[in-house]
Amino acid sequence: MIAPPRFKTVVVSVDAGSHVGTLRLNRPSKSNAIDGDMWTEIPKAVRWLDDQAEVRVVVVTGAGKNFCAGIDVSSPESLMSQLGQATAVKCPGRKAEALFRHIRGLQDSFTAFERCRKPVMCAVQGACFGGGVDMAVACDIRYCSADARFCVKEVDLAITADIGTLQRLPTLVGHGVATEMALTARVVGAEEARAIGLVTEVAPNAAALEALAGERARALAAKSPLAAQGTKQAMLHARDHSVREGLEFVAMMNSARLTSEDLGEAMAAKFAGRAPTFSKL
């Protein structure tokens, strides 16, 4: 495996022994607020981890006390640049078209988690506001620490959330709850987040959260990579399609995958009373 690439705002690492890759947001002094570099570096980091044959599961986490405080609003210039205000463009139509392309580019930064073939787990500590929620709900599984706080903050900035929360959150917590969270911008604590289905488990503190996410990631990485990848694809397809379409999709996929070596190895290991060993994806 080649050495992980170096980025300004995130750190990637791979534990080849456990087949777990980690993407850590790395602006702790700014509560991992998303700046221009982070928007471009996150999808690059995800693609790199996806390309590593040793990686079977990706864990997304943040350095410091907070997972992500949303977009960087530390200055008017930073806020305007993130909102895609093309001040040099005079034509209203061209300005609107440029803004459309800017928003779509930001959306793609987090859709990268769904495009990743490997399951992506998100471990949230402290604040997870605005863009942090966009990021978390784009992952496949979410855990948090007891001090975690979630907030769909955009309405307080006089904008409509447009990076994915309004599309993905309702499938996790239900339309009514998601609408209430988005319109009120109220803060949701860890236990409520678990109760409504936003997260699966709550750890007592940040250290326990890291241990929990690591344990769950290692357990998943020990399973068939083809089965894990196929399950992720089938679940995402089912979210966005009818039951009939979902059944046809998974039938087509498994018509090819049920002949894989992974199935034979899983059965052989079961009857031999040993742990299975799967090839790289």
Minimal CA–CA distance to 30: which of 7, 64, 60, 6? 64
Residue 115 has pLDDT above 70, yes or no: yes
Amino acid identity for residue 218 in this structure: R
Report yes or no on 169 lying in a domain: yes
pTM: 0.92
First CA to last CA distance, the chain = 14
> Of these residues, 154, 164, 210, 262, which one is catalytic?
154
CA–CA–CA angle 113, 118, 119 (5° rounding): 70
Same domain, residue pair 153 and 254: no
Same domain, residue pair 121 and 252: no
Same domain, residue pair 138 and 252: no
pLDDT of residue 80: 63
> Of these residues, 34, 42, 50, 71, which one is catalytic?
71
Report yes or no on 137 lying in a domain: yes
Among this protein's residues, is 126 annotated catalytic?
A: no
Q: How many residues are given for the chain?
A: 281
Residue 224 CA to its chain's centroid (Å): 21
Arithmetic mean of pLDDT over the chain: 93
Report yes or no on 62 lying in a domain: yes
pLDDT of residue 81: 63
Same domain, residue pair 127 and 184: yes
pLDDT of residue 84: 61
Tokens of 59: 């864990």
Report yes or no on 3 lying in a domain: no
Same domain, residue pair 156 and 87: yes
Listed residues 178, 206, 221: the one ending a domain: 221
Among this protein's residues, is 131 annotated catalytic?
A: yes
Amino acid identity for residue 63 in this structure: A
Same domain, residue pair 230 and 213: no
With b for 16 or more beta-carbon neighbours within 10 A and e for fewer, the 154-164 pattern comes to: beeeeeebebb
User: Above pLDDT 90, what percent of the chain?
Assistant: 79
Q: Stretch 33-48: mean pLDDT, rounded? A: 96
Report yes or no on 84 lying in a domain: yes
Q: Stretch 189-205: mean pLDDT, rounded? A: 98
Alpha-helical (H) ranges within the chain are: 36-51, 76-82, 92-115, 131-137, 165-173, 175-184, 190-196, 206-221, 225-240, 243-257, 261-272
Residue 25 has pLDDT above 90, yes or no: yes
pLDDT of residue 41: 98
- How do 20-25 and 10-15 pair as beta strands? antiparallel
Q: Stretch 123-147: mean pLDDT, rounded? A: 98
**How does residue 37 score in pLDDT terms, banded at 50, 70 and 90?**
very high
**How does residue 257 score in pLDDT terms, banded at 50, 70 and 90?**
confident
C-beta of residue 212 within 8 angstroms of C-beta of residue 194: no
Report yes or no on 5 lying in a domain: no
pLDDT of residue 281: 76
pLDDT of residue 73: 81
State the CATH number of the domain containing residue 148.
Answer: 3.90.226.10
C-beta of residue 19 within 8 angstroms of C-beta of residue 223: no
Q: Which residues contact 91 (CB under 8 A, 6 or more apart)?
A: none
Residue 78 has pLDDT above 80, yes or no: no
Minimal CA–CA distance to 130: which of 164, 90, 96? 164
* Total number of domains in the chain: 2
Backbone angles phi, psi at 60, to 5 degrees: -105, 125
Among this protein's residues, is 245 annotated catalytic?
A: no
Q: Stretch 149-169: mean pLDDT, rounded? A: 95
pLDDT of residue 131: 96
Q: Stretch 172-187: mean pLDDT, rounded? A: 98
Same domain, residue pair 243 and 185: no
Same domain, residue pair 114 and 80: yes
Report yes or no on 48 lying in a domain: yes
> Of these residues, 21, 70, 131, 132, which one is catalytic?
131
Question: Residue 212: left if φ>0, alpha if ψ -120 to 50, beta else—which one?
Answer: alpha
- How do 141-145 and 201-203 pair as beta strands? parallel
Same domain, residue pair 196 and 213: yes
Report yes or no on 99 lying in a domain: yes
Among this protein's residues, is 201 annotated catalytic?
A: no
Q: Stretch 182-208: mean pLDDT, rounded? A: 98
CA–CA distance, 41 with 45 (Å, rounded to integer): 6
> Of these residues, 15, 54, 162, 265, which one is catalytic?
162
pLDDT (tens digit per residue) in 43-74: 999 999 999 999 999 999 999 999 999 999 87
**How does residue 79 score in pLDDT terms, banded at 50, 70 and 90?**
low
Same domain, residue pair 64 and 199: yes
Is the pLDDT higher at 270 or at 25? 25
pLDDT (tens digit per residue) in 93-113: 988 898 899 999 999 999 999
State the CATH number of the domain containing residue 233.
Answer: 1.10.12.10
Same domain, residue pair 163 and 256: no
Among this protein's residues, is 134 annotated catalytic?
A: yes
Listed residues 203, 221, 239: the one ending a domain: 221
CA–CA distance, 150 with 127 (Å, rounded to integer): 6
CA–CA distance, 243 with 235 (Å, rounded to integer): 11
Residue 105, domain extent: 10-221
Is the pLDDT higher at 192 or at 80? 192
Same domain, residue pair 249 and 213: no
Listed residues 221, 238, 254: the one ending a domain: 221
